[in-house]
Structure 1
Amino acid sequence: MARLERLRVYPVKGLDGVDLETADILEGGTVAHDREFALFDGDGDVFNGKRTDRIHDLDADFDLEAREVALETPDGERQRFDLETDREAAADWLSEFFGIELSLKRDRSLGFVDRREMGPSVISTATLRTVADWFDRMTVEGARRRLRANVEIDGVEPFWEDRFVGADAPAFEVGGVRFDGVTPCGRCVVPERDPNTGEPTPAFREQFVRRREETFPDWADADAFDHYYSLMIIARVPESDRGKPLHVNDPIEIVDGDQ
């Protein structure tokens, strides 16, 4: 049976994720705690893994109930910050680590997701297994950390999520919360890097594109994809379903795309 296998959020954009058993959909349509905080440089631009591979040198461990983050450097230096009261101190510490002046901002209602008019990212466990098999020594968890989805669905075939974008696409419900697919997720430089070391995987993009084209489902709408360096989808939760919770093991039901 198709079900919600994993619910993962990234409390500080660009840093490590946290697995949750349950989370609400916010009024802005995103998953609570996802990209709730983000780093910005002096020009007001987001600072994340697209800007520097050094972000992989930093381990982040979050306690969402206490609103705390513990940050650890490769040489073992460890600092803990309260994200309610110590954001300025955290920003100063991170500025020193990255060598650039940074501020740490918060958005409670939407988070600092890339596509602010959309919502959660969705992928299947089978898709992650398939992608991991494309590369030597890549694990499913390694693929998961490279691709950074919020909602992971098990009990379905590889690339199941592709069916929800394009002309006449259906929608799906997670425990009664409706998800309408909006767009495939074109990938950036981050998935090319080993999530532990930041080292680039040789010829990652070329191999990914070739294998993605070879395995592209016949039942997916190819016109919805600008290129084959795309994986997972970005969905939208309608306003009527915002404020509702998602729970791991919630059943998945495909529904008509027309509301």
Structure 2
Amino acid sequence: MRVETIYRYPVKGLSAEAMEEVTLTPGETLPHDRRFALAQGDAPFNSAAPGWMQKRHFGCLMANARLAHLHSAFDPRSGMLVIRAPEAAPFAGDTRTAEGRAAIAGFLAGFLGDEARGEPRFVEAPGHAFTDVAKKCVSIIGLASLAALEAKMGMALDPLRFRANVYFSGGLPWGEFDLLGEEIMLGGARLKVFKRIVRCAATEVNPVTAERDARPPQALREHFGHIDLGVYAEVLDGGRVAVGDALEPLRLI
């Protein structure tokens, strides 16, 4: 099995950033993955005492499909976040300062309009990641599983609908589910697969058009008896992972 693409999502709910390679660290996500989020005005998130919260507390595609219209780019060296909205000049905000974070929150709240609840905050907490599950991990999808879903739905599905970190080729459809509880080598890193990824309404959103033009969870249940696609894996031993690297169960090595 071969790694085909690697992505990180610096801001929860905003666009993906493709990576040719990445160095994984034990017990962590990809560097800068889900580092920031737009906390809705009524969200009880406390940056000084961060704890995991459900995605409904933050700007997310499940509730805010229009976020798919935005294209963002984050520079970890400068801390600058650039966001491009349709037919508008690029917006740039400094994530390192209170003023910059307030400006980013204001821009995103203005873009969301009535979907913004109260006065949203652009938040970060050192060591915290705004992941969909409480454990820091890497999300992995087999492209054969995606192809099986596409065949049943009779349409192509952009893999970015599913917002995974790693997409791999070469496996059997749903073969990644057989890795539950097992350790795998992903490039030079060792991980343990611990959970299937339950899919929600975020996958209905076309990442190009921002339209809800498909219902993957409904199709998964109808044709396969579950609403899962992909798996979560915890990094046990860090190492470099690059496009073209192998994904191999340790029992087969």
Aligned with residue 171 of structure 1, among 173, 179, 183: 183
SS at the partner of 1:235?
Answer: strand
Look up the match of 1:156. 171
Report the alpha carbon displacement of residue 189 of structure 1 after superposing the two structures with TM.
0.6
Match of 1:127 among 140, 145, 161: 145
Q: 1:203 to 1:91 in 2, by over 3 A?
A: closer
Range moving further from structure 2, 197-206 or 115-124: 197-206
| Residue 147 (structure 1) aligned to one of 149, 162, 183 | 162
Q: Percent of aligned pairs with the same residue?
A: 27
Number of aligned residue pairs: 233
Deviations 1:4-49 (A, max 9, x none): 2211110100011011122222454211111011110222232212
Tell whether the 8 Å contact from 2:179 to 2:249 is kept in structure 1 after alignment: no
Q: Specify the alignment match of 1:223 in structure 2.
A: none
Kindly indicate whether the alpha-carbon contact (under 8 Å) linking 1:171 and 1:180 is maintained by their aligned counterparts in 2.
yes
Q: 2:235 aligns with which of 230, 234, 237?
A: 237
Matched, 1:184 2:196: yes
Q: Which residue number corresponds to residue 50 of structure 2?
A: none
1:246 matches 2:244: no
Distance in 1 between the 2:92 and 2:33 partners? 20
Q: Give the Å deviation of 1:66.
A: 4.3
Could you tell me how far 1:63 is from its partner in structure 2?
A: 4.2
Contact 1:122–1:149 (CA under 8 A) maintained in structure 2: yes
Q: Which amino acid aligns with 1:158?
A: P
CA 1:110–1:25: 2 relative to 1, 3 Å: farther
CA contact (8 A) 1:118 1:234 kept: no
Query: What's the offset of the Cα at 1:108?
Result: 4.4
Structure 1 pair 230–119 and aligned structure 2 pair: CA distance change class (3 A): same
TM-score by length of 2: 0.81
1:8-157 maps to which residues of 2 (within 5 A)?
8-26=7-25, 28-44=27-43, 45-85=57-97, 86-99=100-113, 100=116, 101-139=119-157, 142=158, 144-157=159-172
Match in the other structure for 1:255: 250
Q: Secondary structure at the match of 1:47?
A: coil
Aligned residue type for 1:254: P
Which amino acid in 2 is paired with 1:81? G
Equivalent residue of 1:234, what SS?
A: strand
